[in-house]
Amino acid sequence: MKITLISIAVFTLSMIFIFPAEKISKAQNNFIAISGQITHIDEKKIPKELVINLITIHESGEQSKQSTIALNGYYMFFTNYQEKDLYFTETIYQNIKYISDYYDYSAKINESITIDVAIFEKSNKLPLIENIVTKFTLSKIDYSKKEITFIREDIIRNTQNWTYFFDDQFTPTYKMHLLNDTINAVGNLGNDRFLQNDNFLNIAMPILPGMNTISTIHTTALSNSNAYSFIFTSIYDTNIIEVIIPTRFSKEIIPIKDFQKKGEQFFEKERMLVFQAENISKGTKAELLINKIFIEKNFFLAQNNIFAIISIIIISSSLTFLIIKARGKNE
């Protein structure tokens, strides 16, 4: 009898200790710790307290946010683990948002991630700006309005260690020379201020040290019903300018000045012709003639939304290659 009671007691105690341990282990596996540090070239200027956010991008595309206070530059988050989540941190310093790199937890072995974010001093002193890549993608032709639309992406590098921005938040920090017969030029992404003025698009945006991306949409008049003269005028020294033309819009593109045909790109069954000009000096022009533009209005208007999506996808997938190529020329 005593032996039976002792056995029951031992079994009961083992259940008490085993099951909570399993639950604790499972909970630990579902959560990860994300720690990090706010960095500054002058450690004395790191704020004692600064709000920092952890942004999680889920597989569905939805985002969730946690906030905490970084004390003397250090912070930590605990968040639910999902295998395909992406993480980054962001903070606002001197009214400018700074964002860390993106981190994919699935690539990590340990159950913790370190994500640092760098902040810089703001200054209206003009830095040395290098135009790495300027890329145009013909995304839409509206025959009823006789308009042609390009998506433009600029990848620029601020080689200095301060963020170039003005306190009034309206003074432009970057300019673009408009294309021929421009009707409208606006920002495509972000909350920066864009002002079209005469032959220029003035952009008031913080230009952070390192790489910066500027995305804009340019709509021009199609004065000639079956041709458009594409002329790029550089305000900055530009390493590479690339123009992509879907063959559904035109199959005859004639390089006039500096451009060369570099081949083709494909997205599913869509064929795109690629042209590049390299090492365009400040104030000079590069020119293409987009000839024999098709005139089947109904067919192409139905394709415009598709091309807008395709353009964005191609931009995101090919800019990395162009940046690497430009870097190779500089080394």
CATH no. for 31-119: 2.60.40.1120
Alpha carbon distance 70, 76 (integer Å): 8
Among the ranges given (64-68, 195-199, 283-287), the one the predictor scored with the smallest mean pLDDT: 195-199
State residue 294's pLDDT score. Answer: 72
Report which of residues 227 and 107 the model is more confident about.
227
Among the ranges given (48-57, 64-73, 104-113), the one the predictor scored with the smallest mean pLDDT: 104-113
State residue 217's pLDDT score. Answer: 96
The helix/strand/coil state of 156 is strand
- Top CATH class, 129-330: mainly beta
Would you say 272 and 245 are in contact if contact means Cβ atoms under 8 Å apart?
yes
Percent of the chain with pLDDT over 90: 57
Q: What is the mean pLDDT of residues 20-36?
A: 59
pLDDT band at 309 (very low <50, low <70, confident <90, very high): very low
| 321 has pLDDT over 90 | no
pLDDT band at 11 (very low <50, low <70, confident <90, very high): very low
State residue 326's pLDDT score. Answer: 47
Name residue, tokens 């938040």: 169
Percent of the chain with pLDDT over 70: 76
Q: 33 — alpha (psi -120 to 50), left (phi > 0) or beta?
A: beta
SS (H, E, C) 68-101: EEEECCEEEEEEECCCCCEEEEEEEECCEEEECC
Alpha carbon distance 70, 141 (integer Å): 50
| 307 has pLDDT over 60 | no
pLDDT band at 170 (very low <50, low <70, confident <90, very high): confident
pLDDT band at 39 (very low <50, low <70, confident <90, very high): very high
Would you state the structure tokens that stand for residue 70, as one six-digit string? 């970084």
Alpha carbon distance 261, 243 (integer Å): 10
Whether 129-330 and 31-119 are alike in CATH topology: the answer is: yes
| 323 has pLDDT over 80 | no
Neighbours of 260 (CB within 10 A): 10
State residue 197's pLDDT score. Answer: 86
pLDDT in tens, 215-274: 999 999 987 768 899 999 989 999 999 999 999 898 899 999 999 999 998 877 888 999
Q: What is the mean pLDDT of residues 87-102?
A: 94
Alpha carbon distance 219, 68 (integer Å): 43
Domain layout of the chain by residue ranges: 31-119, 129-330
- Tell me what the pLDDT averaged over the chain comes to: 81
Kindly state the helix (H) or strand (E) to which residue 327 belongs, with its residue range. Answer: helix 297-330
| 327 has pLDDT over 60 | no
Among the ranges given (202-206, 233-237, 299-303), the one the predictor scored with the smallest mean pLDDT: 299-303
Would you say 247 and 271 are in contact if contact means Cβ atoms under 8 Å apart?
yes
State residue 105's pLDDT score. Answer: 64
Among the ranges given (26-40, 280-294, 307-321), the one the predictor scored with the smallest mean pLDDT: 307-321
Q: What letter represents residue 28's amino acid? A: Q
Report which of residues 255 and 1 the model is more confident about.
255
The helix/strand/coil state of 109 is coil
State residue 12's pLDDT score. Answer: 41
Among the ranges given (73-77, 200-204, 233-237, 291-295), the one the predictor scored with the smallest mean pLDDT: 291-295
State residue 108's pLDDT score. Answer: 54
Report which of residues 204 and 107 the model is more confident about.
204
State residue 178's pLDDT score. Answer: 95
pLDDT band at 144 (very low <50, low <70, confident <90, very high): confident
State residue 110's pLDDT score. Answer: 53
